[in-house]
Structure 1
Amino acid sequence: MAINPYAMILSGGSHSEILDRWAELSAADQQQAAAEVRDEQIPDIATYIVDTCQLVGVQKTLIFGGMLHLFATVVQPADRQELFENLLEDLDLSRTQAFRCRAVWERFGLKFSRETSLHRHFCAESLKILAEERTPDDAREEAIMLAQNNERITIKRAKALQKKYGLQPVANVSPSAGASTPRAASSRWSFAGAFVRIQLIPAKANSVPDVSKMIADLEAAIAELKAGGPNARVA
């Protein structure tokens, strides 16, 4: 075995070259390569993997968001709306995730294009949380400042920043032309599950909420429930 993929990691090699090399090895050679790693080197390998996977995730989110925003702009006229839905189908991407990726691009695209060093300090999900409409600008600005000081912005950190500055009420507005979720919800929506009954009532009376924003609120509620487990606050 000429080149040990773990040695390539420790020397800061390209992840694509490392994976190409790993794929070439037989199961026996992979075991031999692992046996050559010293215990004190394992944390450095873990750090490389975390940094690499998070970096790729952030870049993918920005690419998706930017490309979707670009396409939504060109199909903005009402008679072209179906083209955006067709694109999401081709990408096998849900409207919710399309909405979240676009929000990341709209909030962070220019900043991250100019300061690519920021990419490694976020993960895709922390960016999506910070890009939510209900996240105060101050929370986003502090996250950028912390990242510029080489601090990692994890999901937990992003939620803490939301809590620190307080969540903003989400405006109930009709989606713009070319939006990833062109359909609107009825004034009330309910769901009866095996354990609970859920009813969504617009925060603002007589408003017609956007489906994408309803989904974002539901996902935030689910995340909060998961974080709190059995002790999560129930109104």
Structure 2
Amino acid sequence: MMRQGMSHDDVLQAAANLSDFDRDNFAASVTTPQLPIIGEYVYTALQSLGVQRVLLVGGLLELFAAPSDEKKSPEIYASMLERLGIKKSRAYEFRAVWRRFGKKLINEPKHAQHFIASALVMLSRDSCPEQAVDEAIKITEQGETVDIAAAKRLIAKHTKKSPKLTPEDDLSGGKKSGSTPRVRNAARSAWQFTGRVISIALKPNSREDRQAIIRDLREAIESLERSALVDARIAKHYGRGA
């Protein structure tokens, strides 16, 4: 049935009714040239179901989060995740996939068959550059698959690496040991921060880089604040019920 390209529902129905004897006969009947055909069937079926699951879970949870007022009543959303057995971090990842890829993959399902579900999760993270997503779509338009390795390459390719600060550079753009300050070199834009938990050293190359860093830091702070608020409300809710 797999060699004939029948639906996986039909294949599973038949497999469920196989005896041990029938299963052994099936295994013995498969020839070496036929094995890749069966392997491709299994791969295609599971790949498609994996992407469908991510989109289904992410899309429906995104829809549920709005009317359930996730921010003001996080316990309702948390209860849904508990009933489904889905961790909050995993649900966030699936919802991020829906927000970034949902419209594209639902309206143009031909692209979905060229993505691996885990690759979609990686490309939907906040840290993933939009250029990596755009190139991933172009790759699928050419009929090529975007798997985990491809997603990593795209993210690395489009992620700008800030130049490392050297020990000689200080925040004023000059050198230590009393040397003459450099004239408007890149080190003049260096910025450092050391807190109780984190330490950041950045050396932007342009005003656009600095603005992008500011936006990223603001988003990170807002995300942490929202997460802390949700956790506090959930703890408060279950504390009352204890």
Taking structure 1 as the reference length, the TM-score comes to 0.69
1:201 aligned partner, one-letter code:
I
CA contact (8 A) 1:135 1:167 kept: no
**Deviating more after overlay: 142-151 vs 100-109:** 142-151
How far apart are residue 118 of structure 1 and its match?
1.4
Query: Which runs of structure 2 are paired with 1:26-37 in the superposition (5 Å)?
Result: 26-37=19-30
CA distance in 2, matches of 1:213, 1:160: 30
Query: Which runs of structure 2 are paired with 1:1-235 in the superposition (5 Å)?
Result: 8-76=1-69, 78-166=71-159, 201=198, 204=217, 207=221, 210=224
SS of residue paired to 1:64: helix
SS of residue paired to 1:210: helix
Change in 2 beyond 3 A, CA 1:129/1:94: same
Change in 2 beyond 3 A, CA 1:30/1:101: same
Offset from partner CA, 1:150-191 (integer Å, 9 cap, x none):
10111010010000101699xxxxxxxxxxxxxxxxx96xxx
CA contact (8 A) 1:134 1:168 kept: no
SS of residue paired to 2:13: helix
Change in 2 beyond 3 A, CA 1:87/1:127: same
CA contact (8 A) 2:2 2:41 kept: yes
Change in 2 beyond 3 A, CA 1:33/1:104: same
CA distance in 2, matches of 1:143, 1:208: 28
How far apart are residue 211 of structure 1 and its match?
8.1
Structure of higher CA gyration radius: 2
- How many residue pairs get matched? 179
CA distance in 2, matches of 1:111, 1:36: 42
CA contact (8 A) 2:119 2:151 kept: yes
Identity of aligned residues (%): 33
**Deviating more after overlay: 135-144 vs 75-84:** 75-84
* Larger RCO, structures 1/2 (Cα 8 Å, 6+ apart): 1
CA distance in 1, matches of 2:48, 2:226: 26
How far apart are residue 212 of structure 1 and its match?
9.2
SS of residue paired to 1:111: helix
CA distance in 2, matches of 1:92, 1:210: 24
How far apart are residue 79 of structure 1 and its match?
3.9
1:124 aligned partner, one-letter code:
A
Taking structure 2 as the reference length, the TM-score comes to 0.68
How far apart are residue 209 of structure 1 and its match?
5.5
Offset from partner CA, 1:186-214 (integer Å, 9 cap, x none):
x96xxxxxxxxxxx637659957528999
1:133 aligned partner, one-letter code:
D
SS of residue paired to 1:39: coil
CA contact (8 A) 1:130 1:158 kept: yes
SS of residue paired to 1:11: coil
Gaps of 5+ in 2: 163-194, 201-216, 229-242
Offset from partner CA, 1:66-124 (integer Å, 9 cap, x none):
01100111122644221001111011100110000000000000001111111211111
How far apart are residue 30 of structure 1 and its match?
0.5
CA RMSD of aligned residues (A): 2.7
SS of residue paired to 1:76: coil
SS of residue paired to 1:55: helix
CA contact (8 A) 1:9 1:18 kept: yes
